[in-house]
Amino acid sequence: MLNNRRLVLAHFWFAFATFGVALLLGAWQMYVRSPLHAWLRQPELYYRSVTAHGSVMGYVFPTLIAMGFGYAITELSLGQALRGRRWAWAGWWLIVVGSLMAMVTVALGKASVLYTFYPPMIGSPFYYLGVVLVVVGSWIWVALMSINLRVWKRANPGKPVPLPMFANVAGSYLWGWTAVGAALEILFQILPVALGLKSTIDSGLARVFFSWTLHAIVYFWLMPAYIAYYTLVPRAVGGRLYSDGMARISFILFLVVAMPIGIHHLFADPQVGSGFKFLQSVFTALVSVPTLLTVFTICASVEIAGRLRGGRGAFGWLRVLPWHEPMMLAVAFSFVMLGFGGAGGLINMSYQLDSTIHNTQWITGHFHLIFGGAIVIMYFAIAYELWPQLTGRALTSVRLMKWQLWLWFVGMIVTTFPWHYAGILGMPRRMAYFDFSNPALAPEAITVTMSAVGGLILVLSAVLFFMVLVRGHRGAAVTPAQFEFATAVHPPATLPVALNSFGLWIALMVGLTVVNYGYPIAQLLVLKETSVPAVWMGGQR
């Protein structure tokens, strides 16, 4: 039962439209800084493009996917109509207006500060206000998810919350809390300067606030992908979810430990004490636990499908899996990329190992592999799953879908593997051009060319993706089958309160935030003379 198809479609289409534009910008960036193109004579254009690419891919695209998917999950898994439909539309409009406002400002060259803001650089206030509108729009969604769950719980006392909704609400709470850091930074640090009320900024404190958001935002991006792993994949490949409890524990662990670990992004920053860096390094290591649990559970669930299809022996079940299913391909590709990206992430989070790759191309390679690869490929799969429900028309271009997923996988590997290698060679991030004629840099040239080719493959894949979706709108009208999420091997009849509610986990999340962030923030607030002169971008010409 999906009552609000237009709402979900509006979220998905605006998300994918912005994604398409940002992807083209990304591919252009890969090309212009490669040896295939002469140096950009207007390097500022590069930073404009990076800012637009990052802002869309970081704030707009995944947020809208999580929201649209969340609204769909609410109706499909709870079997009740969405409460607060008007508010949901208001949230969507806020995001649309906010993104357009921010993007126009960036396009005019008034806010080339990159999506991570980088104080003391300061851009036009319209850029930051646009981002604020996007966040406020998403907070409406957070509230609606909570309200809808409460309504359902009141009607179904003591019953286990369906896993998709449980995971969805965990993701929304994670986002609600994690966005607070960037909100504090924008409202109290950046906007007063951008509006001309102050001329200095405590960039150390601002960066600490941003780190509050910066890591957990990745787990917020990850949530729709993980929800798809647990609740769509086992059913799509003809198996069952190996363990419902394990799934809940994974989402709970993400909620608790994904947020208070962002200082590992500040390992090279002087304003945070080494003790807190180590502490957060340890908690970052803990975040690998829910991912490892997930890999185990999903592999086991897929193995069930393989055994049900007659697979025998230690690896025989792999061969008989439904490899013709787009979802099967997507999850396999996603896991491979998650594996490599996750292994790279373990290096980033280690206090000592990080120093070899900090601020190099390794980092950009890493987060593109995880987000652009493992996560976004699942966004495609989610769209393919939901499209017939949303349009009332069958998706028949299965060959095209498989080509699309293959190209995305190959493109992402070709883009990010050389990128990692360039980072090990010491190539810095955020450069509009490199002097490849210098003997010290010459070995890096080929890696950048390879990445640029990968970027082109990704664009091709996106073209196919849009073709599939548009064809879906034009296909023959059908009555889609009743949508079902995966069922567990042992569906829970009752659950301990801890696995069916969020109070304890939110308390732990907030408590850990206080322990891990309380002192560094308080200290920087109190210390005198920690502000530096702001650097305004795109000033008088």
Partner 1 sequence: MTTERLFSLRNRWFVLSVGSTISVAVVAALIGFVWLPSVQTDAQFTGIWNAICSAAGVPQKWLSSTPVTSRVKTSDVVLTPSTLVNGDALSIGRGATLALRCTMCHGPQGLSQANSPNLAGQYAAVIYKQLRDFQSGARTNPVMAPMVTALSDQDMRDLAAYYAYLPRVTGYHPASRPVPDIVAVGSPMRNIAPCASCHGAADRTIGAPWLEGEPAIYIRAQLQAFASGDRHNDTSEQMRNVVRQMTPAEIDAAAQYYASQRP
Binding site residues, partner 1, CB under 8 A: 39-44, 112, 157-158, 196, 199, 256, 271-279, 282-283, 286, 431, 433-435, 438, 440-441, 494, 496-499, 501, 503-505, 508, 511-512, 515, 519-520, 523, 527, 533, 535-541
| Of 292 and 527, CB closest to partner 1 | 527
| Of 44 and 484, CB closest to partner 1 | 44
| Residue 44 CB, nearest approach to partner 1 (Å) | 4
Q: In the chain, how many H helices and how many E strands? A: 20, 4
Q: Parallel, antiparallel, or unpaired for β 121-122 and 535-536? A: parallel
| Of 441 and 446, CB closest to partner 1 | 441
| Residue 268 CB, nearest approach to partner 1 (Å) | 14
| Residue 375 CB, nearest approach to partner 1 (Å) | 27
| Of 197 and 477, CB closest to partner 1 | 197
254 catalytic residue (yes or no): no
367 catalytic residue (yes or no): yes
475: tokens are 């296909």
Q: Which residue of the set 207, 264, 368, 420 is catalytic?
A: 368
Contacts of 106 (CB under 8 A, 6+ apart): 48, 51, 52, 55, 112, 123, 127
Determine contact, residues 269/204, Cβ cutoff 8 Å: yes
How many other CB atoms are found less than 10 A from the CB of residue 268?
10
| Residue 34 CB, nearest approach to partner 1 (Å) | 15
Burial class of residue 154, CB neighbours in 10 A (0-12, 13-18, 19+): exposed
541 catalytic residue (yes or no): no
362: tokens are 């390794």
Backbone angles phi, psi at 529, to 5 degrees: 55, 45
Q: Tell me how far apart the alpha carbons of residues 283 and 301 are, in angstroms, rounded to a whole number.
A: 28
Q: Tell me how far apart the alpha carbons of residues 325 and 402 are, in angstroms, rounded to a whole number.
A: 8
Tell me how far the alpha carbon of residue 104 is from its chain's centroid: 23
| Of 314 and 440, CB closest to partner 1 | 440
14 catalytic residue (yes or no): no
| Residue 243 CB, nearest approach to partner 1 (Å) | 16
| Of 159 and 309, CB closest to partner 1 | 159
| Of 293 and 459, CB closest to partner 1 | 293
| Residue 228 CB, nearest approach to partner 1 (Å) | 26
Torsion sign (Cα): 16, 20, 22, 26: positive
Q: Tell me how far apart the alpha carbons of residues 87 and 145 are, in angstroms, rounded to a whole number.
A: 11
Q: Tell me how far apart the alpha carbons of residues 330 and 139 are, in angstroms, rounded to a whole number.
A: 30
Q: Tell me how far apart the alpha carbons of residues 468 and 462 are, in angstroms, rounded to a whole number.
A: 10
Burial class of residue 439, CB neighbours in 10 A (0-12, 13-18, 19+): exposed
Determine contact, residues 101/129, Cβ cutoff 8 Å: yes
473 catalytic residue (yes or no): no
| Residue 142 CB, nearest approach to partner 1 (Å) | 22
Q: Which residue of the set 16, 219, 335, 380 is catalytic?
A: 219
Point out the residues that are catalytic: 215, 219, 366-368, 429-430
